[in-house]
Amino acid sequence: MEQQTFAANHKHSHTMAYTFRQAVTADIPAIWNILQQAIRRRKADGSNQWQDGYPNEAIVQQDVANGYGYVLTDGEAIAGYTAVMINNEPAYADIEGKWLTEGDFVVYHRVAIDESQLGKGLAQLMLKEIERFAQQRGIRSVRADTNFDNPGMLKIFEKLGYTYCGEVYFRGAARKAFEKVLP
């Protein structure tokens, strides 16, 4: 099982060790709980994102079974979740716009942080781990998308140097698509 441990400095003065690792079946209840929190937060923020029955527990089970699920842990506790894949996003072939690169890419979906861990920069930490995941496999492109009404994620893309490439469509809805080319 792939695992990466590192320290993160948050707003508080102490340092905690976080681990980014592939999710296992036993993680599914905690992952689903974190995603349900995120679904409620998106609704409370007035967003349409994740309000159509996706993501759901079956998607998480598929992610984990396929080896796509990754968790960020704080000790034993799961602090965040994402699904990470290589070249596995058919919707990206039909971008209205243009990707920066051709060839292999890492794509991630379903980025969510536990409510008790918000405000510590953990989503950014997870995205940096995804960049490392790509680099370890010799892949220089990381792609993702988000809703137009998700200012938090849009801000993170900007902060981490992603480029807006156009629109992609999921379940009939347009999403903003981004790419970051790695060194």
Parallel/antiparallel/unpaired status of strands 3-9 and 15-22: antiparallel
Residue 104 tokens read as 């292999």
Domain CATH number, residue 16: 3.40.630.30
Q: What is the mean pLDDT of residues 97-109?
A: 97
Query: In this structure, what are the phi and psi dihedrals at residue 13, rounded to the nearest 5 degrees?
Result: -80, -10
Number of domains the chain contains:
1
Closest to 99 measured CA to CA, from 16, 5, 179, 3:
179
pTM tops 0.85, yes or no? yes
- Confidence grade of residue 53 (pLDDT, cut at 50, 70, 90): confident
- Domain extent, residue 77, equals 3-181
Q: Which of 50-59's residues contact partners 24+ apart within 8 Å by CB, and which partners?
A: 52/171, 54/171, 55/110, 57/28, 57/32, 59/110
User: What is the C-alpha to C-alpha distance for residues 173 and 157, in angstroms, rounded to an integer?
Assistant: 20
Query: In this structure, what are the phi and psi dihedrals at residue 122, rounded to the nearest 5 degrees?
Result: -75, -30
- Confidence grade of residue 2 (pLDDT, cut at 50, 70, 90): low
pLDDT: is 45 or 14 the higher one?
A: 45
Give the N- to C-terminal CA distance of the chain in Å, as an integer: 26
Element at 59 (helix H, strand E): helix 57-66
User: What is the C-alpha to C-alpha distance for residues 63 and 135, in angstroms, rounded to an integer?
Assistant: 21
Average the pLDDT over each of 48-52, 55-59, 101-105, 115-119 and give the range with the smallest value. Answer: 48-52
User: What is the C-alpha to C-alpha distance for residues 51 and 43, in angstroms, rounded to an integer?
Assistant: 7
Whether 150 and 175 have beta carbons less than 8 Å apart is answered as no
